[in-house]
Structure 1
Amino acid sequence: MRLRDSLWIEWTIALRFLLDNRLQSLLIIFGIAVGSAVIVFITALITGLQANVIERTLGTQAHIRILPLDEVNRVVPLPAGSVGLLLESPRAQRLRSISNWQAVRQVLDQQPQIRAVSPQISGPALARRGVARSSVTLLGIDPERYLKIIALDQELIAGEFRVEAGHVLIGKELASDLGLGIGDKLRLDAGDGREALVDVSGIFELGVRELDARFVYLDLKQAQTLLDLPGGVTVIETRVEQIFQAEQIAQRLARLTGLQAESWMQTNGQLLNALRSQSLTTEMIRIFVGISVAFGIASVLAVSVVQRTREIGILRAMGSPRGQILRVFLLQGGLLGLLGSAAGSAVGWALVQVFNGLGPKLFQIILDPVLIPVAMLLATLTGVLAAAFPARRAARYDPAVAIRYA
């Protein structure tokens, strides 16, 4: 018998067996559809939630920060034969510039994994307006480079993005605390008589209260003057192409530059743990739903084998080889998985659209186009594997015994 004819016979028998007991087949297809819908929707939801959390978190910070090495105490060597007791306190860290930072910036610009590099100087100061005052952090930036790290111009709620001599950007909370508006004067005091009177050109809202209450963006040169670091920068911020490789890239940059390299994964350990827990939860849901689907298919086909004992015996008596009987039940498992997953994927897609259209609209779920075909493929393979045991049992039937006791 030619292969094409054999396959046609097997498909015909498999479909006949499924259609003869429509209610049983519909119930298992419904169960598979529910499982597939859960997998598609939950996977898309968790992926969308993680993307939103990462975007909001990393939207206000760099992926990797290059910093000067910490200063440490020097231990004076004792003369030979001497014994001494050492009481050492950690050394206070003063505001310091990165040595030869222009060369470091040039090296970072040449790294293929780094998308943007921005030198910056930051330090503490006191913001005053009349009798009101507030402790702030001065951030001296190169506007063109900094916007490639953080899209600060898109976070403005008033004014314009103007960072130059005599003009600064302040956060919404700081503006509220000091009663400031666009065009108002603000005095910045960095201590030791270093002061500057500046105009507020823009007000931003990063969505983090602490940042909106403390950050003051100003021109790099003016910040260097106020912080008494002429020509220096205290940190070089970068963005990388692959954010989840930031820690490995940071370690390589530390070896390359001889400086500290601090990744977002190091400074946001709790966030990273939360993301990993969400991913683990999603995987567990997939596994348990897959197991339940597999057991459902296996149980239905096991019952089908018992119900079809006589038909199987007749097929074997008519010359059908064991391999053909085996393939009939494997095809049934695959068809159940395919039909159920197709219906479930459609339901999952519809749930995503309902969430995006009628949900709380906290974030948008972007459905990965690969998710639905992969879910259908896995469900089909699960159906075939689940059908393996009942199929082997049916293929081993002796035709005479099957017909006699059916």
Structure 2
Amino acid sequence: MNSLLPFEWIVAIRFLREGRMQSLFIILGVAIGVGVIVFMSALLSGMQGNLFKRVLSSQAHISLERPKEQATNVLTASPGKLVASTVQKPSQRMNTIDQWQKVRDQMQSRADVLAVSASASGPALVVRGSATQAISLLGIEPDAYMKIVPLPEKMVSGSGRMMNTDMLIGVQLADDMGVQLGDKLRVTSAAGASLNLNIAGIFDLGSRGANQRTVYVLLSTAQNLLGMVGGVSSIDLTVRDPYAAEDIAQAIANTTGLTAMSWIAANSQFFLGMRAQTYSSLLIRIFVALSVAAGIASVLVVSVVQRQKEVGILRAMGGTRRQVMRIFLIQGAVVGLLGSILGSSLATGLLAGWRMIAKNPDGTPMFPISMDMSLFLWSALIATLTGLLAAVTPAIRAARLDPVVAIRG
């Protein structure tokens, strides 16, 4: 079989075989480095995906609202006195978006927007006997809103389907009011309107505050209760690239004149924490890769010194400098490739062990970790290229050896 291989491959593999222990240790070093990189990448991806899902699964990527009224300067003067300027904040109008249907249609026509949902929201009270609780009433169009927030996945009991006299409440509000599925609560808005609504579902948004305050009703029901007949207070969007939400929000604000709040601006600390985590992990992986490259280079430099006579004989027998260079480059690439394969197997075992150990009290995984095949392929490619690049300096050194001096040395 060796006769079918090119000359450089035969010599490179023979050199690796002759220094078995040396080759084994450097391959193990590469395997550990690749294993750490793959394990950290998969773990970070799973953890960030889980956090990302928890944060964004209960809110829109972008929310459009009518801009607030701006404060104005009022000049006052009296006889014999200087003119004084005071800042007067105007009374805020009903917080509804003008021509919201037109804005909704414009958003639906954008290529970077996946889903659009209009809603009417405002403060209200729920009353049951002597118990009273302040809430945030949110009127939605279920079919459109569920493309923004997957309510059926968050239902503890009941479903996300509602009639005009139905409501969906959080688990904390249900506990505070002592109600369950099928009971009724009286909802009274700040506008003075009130209505008895049936509890058609109880949800868990993963936040105690949201489960205590948020109450969903149909859009038409909220409009009547809040005095927004025919109007909406916000238009929610889901975009194709969540990480581009801030740029898209700024573009929409400039186009429509509305206030556009992205999830990045609303959760700035969370976003900065994720970015810092990503950068720190990237730095760790870079330093691990550099240490792997340094290990390969150092071993191959030693190999060049140990095999000066063999290199000199090869040159004396007619071997070219390019052939000698290719021999050591092949060694570096083979070490990187074998190390990456072994390292990927090591990372798979570590991830399997993590899945068995990191579990919630109910036995479910702490967060899902997917072993993406592309991650292993990229790791193999990067490790092979790292081995190849690490072998450049030793290969050049071997190619520059004078045959006579090498044989005598």
Q: If the length of structure 1 is used for normalisation, what is the TM-score?
A: 0.94
Residue 307 to residue 107, structure 1, CA distance change in 2 (3 Å) = same
Q: Does 1:294 align with 2:293?
A: yes
Distance between the aligned counterparts of 2:16 and 2:60, measured in 1? 58
Shift of 1:324: 1.2
Q: Does 1:117 align with 2:121?
A: no
Q: Is the 8 A contact 1:49 1:363 kept in 2?
A: yes
- Counterpart residue number, 2:271: 272
For residues 79-90 of structure 1, the aligned pairs below 5 Å read 84-88=83-87, 90=89
Distance between the aligned counterparts of 1:90 and 1:351, measured in 2? 60
Q: Is the 8 A contact 2:160 2:168 kept in 1?
A: yes
- Counterpart residue number, 2:385: 381
2:30 to 29, 32, 41: 32
Q: Is the 8 A contact 1:163 1:217 kept in 2?
A: no
For residues 245-256 of structure 1, the aligned pairs below 5 Å read 245-256=244-255
SS at match of 1:88: strand
Residue by residue over 1:14-70, the C-alpha shift from the partner in whole angstroms, topping out at 9 and shown as x without a partner, is: 111111010010000000000000111100111111111111110000011010011
Q: Is the 8 A contact 2:308 2:406 kept in 1?
A: yes
SS at match of 2:180: coil
Q: Does 1:241 align with 2:240?
A: yes
- Counterpart residue number, 1:133: 132
Q: Is the 8 A contact 1:140 1:224 kept in 2?
A: yes
Residue 192 to residue 267, structure 1, CA distance change in 2 (3 Å) = closer
Distance between the aligned counterparts of 2:161 and 2:331, measured in 1? 68
1:51 to 49, 52, 74: 49
Residue 192 to residue 286, structure 1, CA distance change in 2 (3 Å) = closer
For residues 303-322 of structure 1, the aligned pairs below 5 Å read 303-322=302-321
Distance between the aligned counterparts of 2:324 and 2:89, measured in 1? 78
Distance between the aligned counterparts of 1:368 and 1:161, measured in 2? 34
- Counterpart residue number, 2:335: 336
1:131 partner amino acid = S
SS at match of 2:309: helix
Distance between the aligned counterparts of 2:153 and 2:367, measured in 1? 18
- Counterpart residue number, 1:258: 257
Residue by residue over 1:209-265, the C-alpha shift from the partner in whole angstroms, topping out at 9 and shown as x without a partner, is: 110000111121121121111111100111111111111111111122111111111
- Counterpart residue number, 1:404: 408
Residue 156 to residue 6, structure 1, CA distance change in 2 (3 Å) = closer
- Counterpart residue number, 2:106: 107
Residue 355 to residue 122, structure 1, CA distance change in 2 (3 Å) = same
Residue 24 to residue 130, structure 1, CA distance change in 2 (3 Å) = same
1:166 partner amino acid = T
Shift of 1:403: 1.4
1:41 partner amino acid = F
SS at match of 2:117: strand
Shift of 1:93: 4.4
- Counterpart residue number, 2:362: none
Q: Is the 8 A contact 2:75 2:86 kept in 1?
A: no
SS at match of 1:354: helix
How many residues end up aligned between the 2 structures?
400
- Counterpart residue number, 1:74: 72
SS at match of 1:71: coil
Distance between the aligned counterparts of 1:147 and 1:317, measured in 2? 76
Gapped runs of 5+ residues in structure 2? 360-364
SS at match of 1:123: strand
2:238 partner amino acid = R
Bigger mean CA offset, 189-198 vs 53-62: 189-198
Shift of 1:163: 2.2
SS at match of 2:125: strand
2:331 partner amino acid = Q
- Counterpart residue number, 1:171: 170
Distance between the aligned counterparts of 2:92 and 2:391, measured in 1? 67
Q: Is the 8 A contact 1:162 1:168 kept in 2?
A: no
Distance between the aligned counterparts of 1:32 and 1:92, measured in 2? 68
SS at match of 1:75: strand
SS at match of 1:128: strand
Residue by residue over 1:134-181, the C-alpha shift from the partner in whole angstroms, topping out at 9 and shown as x without a partner, is: 110000111111111111122111123232221111000000001011
- Counterpart residue number, 2:20: 22
Distance between the aligned counterparts of 1:161 and 1:397, measured in 2? 77
Shift of 1:193: 3.0
Residue 135 to residue 318, structure 1, CA distance change in 2 (3 Å) = same
1:348 partner amino acid = A
Gapped runs of 5+ residues in structure 1? none
Q: Does 1:63 align with 2:67?
A: no
SS at match of 1:183: coil
- Counterpart residue number, 1:218: 217
1:275 partner amino acid = M
Distance between the aligned counterparts of 2:190 and 2:241, measured in 1? 41
1:367 partner amino acid = M
| Percentage identity across paired residues of the two chains | 44
- Counterpart residue number, 1:200: 199
Distance between the aligned counterparts of 2:76 and 2:84, measured in 1? 11
SS at match of 2:322: helix
